[in-house]
Structure 1
Amino acid sequence: MVFRNFKYSQLSISPTLWALALFGFSHAFHEWSELYVILFSDEISPKYHHLVQWLRMIKLSLSFAGLIIFSWLLFRICPNPFSKIGQIITAAVVIIYTLVMLFFFQGCSVLADTFTEAARYTRVLLGFGSATLAGGGIAIYGYQLRQKNHEYGLYFVATGAGLFIYGVLAGLVPTELHSSVPVFRTLAATLVLVTLYKALNIFDIEKEMATEAKLKRAIEADKYKAIGHLAMGVAHEINNPLASSILALDLLERKLPVKLDELMDYISRARLGINRASVISKELLAYARSDLSHAQKVFFYDVIDGAKQLLSHKIMPYVINVNCDSSLSITGQKVKLEELLINLLNNAMDASGNSGDIDISVTGDQHQILFEVRDYGEGMDEQTLLQATELFFSTKPIGKGTGLGLAICHQIIGAHKGKMKIISAKGIGTRVLISFSVGICEW
Structure 2
Amino acid sequence: MPIFVTFNIYLFYGLVFFSIGCAVVFRNFRYSQLKVAPTLWALAIFGFSHAFHEWSELYIIIFSHDIGQQYQLLIQWLSLAKLLLSYIALMVFAWQILSITTKRVAMVGHGIILSILISYLWLIIPDLHDLAANNTGFAEASQYTRILIGFGSASLAGIGMAVYGNSLRQEKHHYGLYFVISGVGLLIYGVLSGLVPTDSHHSVPVLRTLAGGLILVALFKALKVFDLEREQVTAAKLKRALEADKYKAIGRLAMGVAHEINNPLASSTLALDLWQRKNPEHFSSEGDYLNRARLGIERASSISKELLSYARPASGIRGNVAIEDILKSAVKLLAHRCKHHEIQLNCAAHIFLYCEKIKLEELIINLLCNALDASQLRQKITVDVTEVDTRVIITVKDVGCGMSKEALARATELFYSSKPVGKGTGLGLAICEQITSLHNGKMNIVSELDKGTTVELVFYREHC
Task: Tell me what 1:278 maps to.
Answer: 301
Query: Per-residue displacement from partner, 1:308-363 (whole Å, max 9, x unpaired)?
Result: xxxxxxxxxxxxxx984379698873322356579x89xxxxxxxxxxx9658653
Tell me if structure 1 keeps the 8 A contact 2:130–2:137: no
Q: Distance in 2 between matches of 1:367 and 1:221?
A: 31
Query: What is the CA deviation profile of residues 226-261 of structure 1, one whole-angstrom value per residue up to 9, with x for unaligned ones?
Result: 223322322221111111111112222222362574
Q: Return the offset for 1:70.
A: 2.4
Distance of 2:150 and 2:82 partners within structure 1: 13
Distance 1:24 1:255, change over 3 A: closer
Match of 2:454 in 1: 432
Which residue is 2:417 aligned to?
none
The corresponding residue for 2:9 is none
Q: What do the CA deviations read for 1:4-42 (whole angstroms, capped 9, x no partner)?
A: 153624144344433323222322333344345456656
Given the superposition, is the C-alpha separation of residues 75 and 146 from structure 1 closer, same or farther in structure 2, using an over 3 Å criterion? same
Match in the other structure for 1:6: 28
Q: Name the CA shift for 1:328/1:271 in 2 (closer, same or farther; >3 Å).
A: farther
* 1:280–1:191 Cα change, 3 Å: same
Q: Secondary structure at the match of 1:290?
A: coil
Q: Distance in 1 between matches of 2:47 and 2:336?
A: 66
Amino acid at match of 1:129: G
User: 2:381 maps to which residue?
Assistant: 363
Structure 1: give runs of 5+ residues left out of the alignment.
307-321, 346-356, 390-402
The partner residue of 1:135 within 158, 163, 166 is 158
Partner of 1:91: 114
Residues 35-50 of structure 1 mapped to structure 2, 5 A cutoff:
35-38=58-61, 41=64, 44-50=67-73
What TM-score comes out, normalization by structure 1 length? 0.70
Q: Which secondary structure does the structure 1 equivalent of 2:276 belong to?
A: helix
Q: What is the deviation of 1:126?
A: 1.1
Q: Paired residue for 1:318?
A: none
Separation in structure 2 between the aligned mates of residue 325 and residue 409 of structure 1, nearest angstrom:
26
Classify 1:253/1:329 alpha carbon distance in 2 versus 1 (closer, same or farther; 3 Å). farther
SS in 1 for 2:133: coil
Retained in 1: the 8 A contact 2:384–2:395?
no
Cα distance in 2 for partners of 1:336, 1:28 equals 59
Determine the C-alpha separation between the residues in 2 that align with 1:235 and 1:329.
37
Q: Cα 1:282–1:305, aligned 2, differ >3 Å: closer, same or farther?
A: farther
Question: Following superposition of structure 1 onto structure 2, how do residues 65-76 of structure 1 map, counting pairs within 5 Å?
Answer: 65-76=88-99
Partners of 1:77 and 1:304 in 2: how far apart?
52
Q: Distance in 1 between matches of 2:384 and 2:62?
A: 85
Gaps of 5+ in 2: 1-20, 348-356, 387-393, 413-428
Contact 1:420 1:432 in 2 (8 A): no
1:187 equivalent to 2:205? Answer no
Does the 8 Å contact 1:378/1:429 carry over to 2? no
CA distance in 1, matches of 2:446, 2:280: 61
The number of equivalent residue pairs is 390
Question: 1:166 and 1:428, CA in 2 relative to 1: closer, same or farther beyond 3 A?
Answer: farther
CA contact (8 A) 2:344 2:383 kept: no
> CA 1:84–1:279 in structure 2 vs 1: closer, same or farther (change >3 Å)?
same
- 1:63-212 equivalences under 5 Å are 63-78=86-101, 80-107=103-130, 110-212=133-235
SS at match of 1:90: helix
Alpha-carbon contact 1:299-1:327 (below 8 Å) kept = no
284-293 or 185-194, which deviates more: 284-293
- What is the identity percentage for the equivalent residue pairs of Structure 1 and Structure 2? 45
The 5 Å alignment of 1:330-345 reads: 333-337=360-364
Check 1:228–1:73 CA distance in 2 against 1; reply closer, same or farther (3 A cut): same
The 3 A distance-change label for structure 1 pair 12 and 122 is same
Evaluate the alpha carbon distance shift between residue 291 and residue 207 of structure 1 in structure 2; reply closer, same or farther with a 3 A threshold.
closer
Superposition deviation, residue 173 in structure 1:
1.3
Q: Give the secondary structure class of the aligned counterpart of 2:396.
A: strand
Partner of 2:397: 372
Displacement of 1:85 in angstroms is 4.1
The alignment partner of 2:454 has SS state of strand
Give the SS at the match of 1:8. Answer: coil
Structure 2 matches for 1:217-228, cutoff 5 A? Answer: 217-228=240-251
Asked which structure has the greater RCO (Cα within 8 Å, sep 6+), the reply is 2
What is the rounded CA distance, in whole Å, between the counterparts of 2:51 and 2:383 in structure 1?
69
Where 1:159 maps in the other structure, the secondary structure is helix
Aligned mates of 1:264, 1:358 — CA distance in 2: 30
Matched residue SS, 1:6: coil
Contact persistence 2:363–2:432 (CA under 8 A) = no
Contact 2:98 2:105 in 1 (8 A): yes
Residue 381 of structure 2 aligns to a residue whose secondary structure is strand
In structure 1, how many angstroms separate the alpha carbons of the residues matched to 2:382 and 2:367? 18
SS, match of residue 371 in structure 1: strand
CA distance in 1, matches of 2:230, 2:153: 31
Q: 1:189 to 1:370 in 2, by over 3 A?
A: closer
- Decide whether the 8 Å contact of 1:138 with 1:160 is kept in 2: yes
C-alpha RMSD over aligned residues: 4.5
Partner of 1:246: 269
Q: Return 201-210 or 177-186, whichever deviates more.
A: 201-210
Q: Which whole-Å CA distance do the structure 2 matches of 1:12 and 1:436 have between them? A: 24
SS at match of 1:135: helix
For the residue of structure 1 that corresponds to 2:41, the secondary structure is: helix
Match of 1:215 in 2: 238
